[in-house]
A and B are shown apart, each in its own frame.
Chain A
Amino acid sequence: MALNQASQLYSGSDRLGPWCSPTGSPAPLSCETGCGEGSWILVCRLLVPTQVSLLSMEEDIDTRKINNSFLRDHSYATEADIISTVEFNHTGELLATGDKGGRVVIFQREQESKNQVHRRGEYNVYSTFQSHEPEFDYLKSLEIEEKINKIRWLPQQNAAYFLLSTNDKTVKLWKVSERDKRPEGYNLKDEEGRLRDPATITTLRVPVLRPMDLMVEATPRRVFANAHTYHINSISVNSDYETYMSADDLRINLWNFEITNQSFNIVDIKPANMEELTEVITAAEFHPHHCNTFVYSSSKGTIRLCDMRASALCDRHTKFFEEPEDPSNRSFFSEIISSISDVKFSHSGRYIMTRDYLTVKVWDLNMENRPIETYQVHDYLRSKLCSLYENDCIFDKFECVWNGSDSVIMTGSYNNFFRMFDRNTKRDVTLEASRENSKPRAILKPRKVCVGGKRRKDEISVDSLDFSKKILHTAWHPSENIIAVAATNNLYIFQDKVN
């Protein structure tokens, strides 16, 4: 079944979206609401589909019957469906996910319409394509995973959408465009596309464009390969919209979008003697406004800010951000938990946010010696570090995101929990993204982890946490209070309820 037909099937169903706006008017959500004042509701839960199609909430039986033939139930999900990256585009109209199987699925926001005002805010599948395939490196006899590590959108400059997607070794630029017209009336070809014998042509006509069913097609426009020896962990589009960078464990390369056979190495921390290797690059990002500035984080909990105008190879940082170690908390795991898994500039460009294993930190670019804010994500794990080291969970790489106004930050945790911190009110909330606890239209209930002593009724004890259910990837709409949370193969979209 064609993708667009399935799209229509979904939107044409009688399934009532779990949209909580009582009056049906467009939700004038502003980012100023913050996380404490609003309440979060589930908009929709999407399973990344193998075949085309979309999935409904389990509550509606009609659509379930319709969709059963080609939807994949949560319980049959394979490892290839595990979502590995989530990213809104610059307007928030599109939401892209990448998965372990190398696929990219793009969701589009339901447009406002007079008839179905209540459906606004839902996201439906817009395009699905296979971005990367598994490869085999014959020289090293190693497999190259097709898992999509990161997706980054380019700002829209024409009718088509462009995004970068990367696996461990290769970055690709994809063009996603719509086609709703088709040329008819060629002179040299007949209606079936076969070439006509020129001798039979007696008249000339001008081909005309006739409407056709909407088709969304994705084409790879550039392939940027063979520039990384180690695994790519980050890509970042520069504010000049002409260049972007890709970072692996030891090197960062600068690319021009137009040139695929060449890239400039701008950071190289590989020691001459690999025995001396003690630190790797974990994440990197360009400044949102200054196209010469970027930051990269390390496994030792440091952030370096570099200026590309200073030298061609940015081996010497312009700024060096590191918090002095707390001697009272010192343990053999101190370094591991200080390793930064994600770094993000604020939209304003004034701050950077870093995520290490137990905390999220906000740094002012003008102050290098310590962060200005530190938020505890799940400090109750501090006494469990040994077990988490044993089962490798201590190496999990959580991401973190800013909301559109930089007033709220969000990051994931275990047991399908995710946390939001309001920087202004200093309030925080823990929410859960799970099938069992998310009824449509209901307000998400804040969750609480009980550390010791008596456990209250709705609390969950630390020992009952499910460490296989981790929220590593989340995204926040650029201007509204809409968030996307990836839990294994499920994509949850939540919205702040209008008061």
Chain B
Amino acid sequence: MFARGLKRKSSEDAEDADGGVAGLPAAPSYTLQRQSLLDMSLVKLQLCHMLVEPNLCRSVLIANTVRQIQEEMTQDGTWRVVAPQAAGRAPLDRLVSTEILCRSGREQEGEGDCPLPDPAPGQAPRRPQSSPWGLDGSREGRGGFQKSLDHIFETLENKTPGSVEELFSDVDSSYYDLDAVLTGMVGGAPTGPGLPAFAPTAAAPPSSTCRSDLGELEHTVEILVET
């Protein structure tokens, strides 16, 4: 296990380190797969909110998948802290892994090292200070994300008034509340491209949204939990 506060290295180094630690999945692509699946699932859950009448069965299944990933990641202790210099590469991990994820298993093994392309210049700017993966202490960072996820589920159940549309509750789930929240999010957001870029793309197919900047996703989570 890595000591807390250890900077995350580039994927090549991480892979070597992984190989040396017992109990962790050998191929880094598994971790990327899992993370990408998590991102995709979170996006799907949020898309649920946009639907007129979300399909409860689908939402429950996706939420269960998210919980499952979260549990496994907690057990693995793979809540890694992303160092600032590596932060710029994190979104690319997502980009790559989404493609890998949807390829067949055989191809993935062939990929082996899962090479990362260089950061694209067109990448949306990061927001390190607001991201749980950012410069904060490792403990806060890891706990923060965990807390965010739990909070998503809580907010989904309409515990706080005016929060994002609940997922499972049969109490008044007004579509207009969702609009208000989104608008509020846009208005209240600190300067940055995060949400305004996100909201229109929410209607886009999940695959393209998965490819959106990690920062946008985390930023959205931040806003959802009203930190």
Which A residues form the contact surface with B (CB < 8 A)? 139-145, 168, 229-231, 249-250, 273-275, 277-280, 282, 299, 332-333, 335-336, 339, 383, 386-387, 389-392, 395
Contacts of A143 in B (CB 8 A): 52-53
A141 lies within 8 A of B57 (CB) = no
Select which of B63, B69, B104, B175 is within 8 A of A142 by beta carbon. B175
Which among B37, B53, B153, B168 is the interface contact of A386 at CB below 8 angstroms? Answer: B37
Q: Enumerate chain A residues within 8 angstroms of B104, measured Cβ to Cβ.
A: 383
The answer to whether A336 touches B69, judged by C-beta atoms less than 8 angstroms apart, is: no
**A278 and B174 contact, CB distance less than 8 A:** no
Q: Is the interface of B mostly helix, strand, loop or mixed?
A: helix
A282 to B55, CA, bound (A): 11
Is B55 within 8 A of A395, CB to CB? yes
Residues B57 and A299 in contact, CB atoms below 8 Å apart:
yes
Roughly how many angstroms separate A335 CA and B62 CA in the complex, as a whole number?
A: 10
Q: Which residues of B contact A282 (CB under 8 A)?
A: 57
Given A141-B174, A141-B176, are A280 and B53 neighbors across the interface (CB < 8 Å)? Answer: no
Q: List 5 A-B contacts (CB under 8 A).
A: A140-B173, A141-B174, A278-B60, A386-B101, A390-B40
Report chain B residues within 8 Å CB of A139.
Answer: 172
Q: B residues touching A (Cβ–Cβ < 8 Å)? A: 34, 37, 40, 52-53, 55-58, 60-61, 63-65, 68-69, 101-102, 104-105, 153-154, 157, 166, 168-170, 172-176, 205-207, 210
Tell me which residues across on chain B come within 8 A of A229, comparing CB atoms.
170
For the complex, give the distance between the alpha carbons of A250 and B59 in Å: 13
In the assembled complex, how far is the CB of residue A112 from the closest CB belonging to chain B, in whole angstroms?
44
List the B side residues contacting A275 at CB < 8 Å.
Answer: 153-154, 157, 168
Chain B residues near A277 (CB-CB < 8 A):
60, 168
Determine which of A273, A274, A339 lies in contact with B61 in the assembled complex, contact meaning CB atoms within 8 Å: A339
A274 to B168, CA, bound (A): 6
* In the complex with contacts A145-B53, A249-B57, A280-B56, A386-B102 CB distance below 8 A: yes
In angstroms, Cα B205 to Cα A452, docked, is 29
Q: Are A335 and B61 in contact (CB under 8 A)?
A: yes
Known A-B contacts: A280-B60, A336-B65, A339-B57. Give 16 more (CB < 8 A): A140-B174, A230-B56, A231-B53, A249-B56, A249-B57, A250-B56, A274-B169, A275-B168, A277-B60, A280-B57, A299-B57, A332-B37, A332-B65, A389-B37, A389-B40, A395-B57
- Residue numbers in A under 8 Å from B58 (CB-CB): 392, 395
Task: Name the B residues within 8 Å of A387 (CB-CB).
Answer: 102
Q: How far is the CB of B180 from chain A (nearest CB, A)?
A: 12
| Complex interface: chain A residues within 8 A of B68 (CB) | 332, 335
Contact A278 B170 (CB under 8 A): no
Asked if residues B69 and A279 are in contact (CB atoms below 8 Å), the reply is: no
